[in-house]
Amino acid sequence: MRLRFANLLSTWFGCGYSPVAPGTAGSAAALAIAILLRQYAGFPAWGFALLAAALFLPAVWAAGMTERALGRKDPGCVVVDEVIGQWIALAGVRAFTWETYLAAFLLFRLFDIWKPPPVRQLEALPGGWGINADDAMAGAYAALVLFLAGCFNLY
């Protein structure tokens, strides 16, 4: 039962089983949830940082359980880390428009794939910590770029 729940959470309710680009599918699901929360509940940008923080420890546990069960380091089906990173990226947005949603999505995916220091180094942490920490840092980079762009009235 615990492993089933861990798999459900770590694959973000099945997004990680996407046959093409499961990480991108996880990020897209996180973005869709964020858009709904913003549009229908007036969710503030800082609220996405709180959501990511609340999800972080359960995500570490779930990703670690799934990794051990599959016997592979950072299995591709684990995408809860993309959800956390995407929500952190959205926390940097100063004005929500379709362009800033798209920019948050693209910037997070860029930093997640490129892995500038210390993103790549955080992957070396053990178990679920490494799986989630690198994406949290990639999200922080994206949030910083979005925040600074907003401060300079670039959107």
* Residue range 95-146, pLDDT digits in tens: 999 999 999 999 999 999 999 999 999 999 999 999 999 999 999 999 999 9
Residue 119 tokens, joined: 């993103």
34 burial level (CB within 10 Å; 0-12, 13-18, 19+): buried
Q: Over the stretch 18-75, which tens digit does the pLDDT of each residue have?
A: 999 999 999 999 999 999 999 999 999 999 999 999 999 999 999 999 999 999 999 9
Q: Structure pTM? A: 0.97
Domain that holds residue 66: 2-14+21-151
**How many domains in the chain?**
1
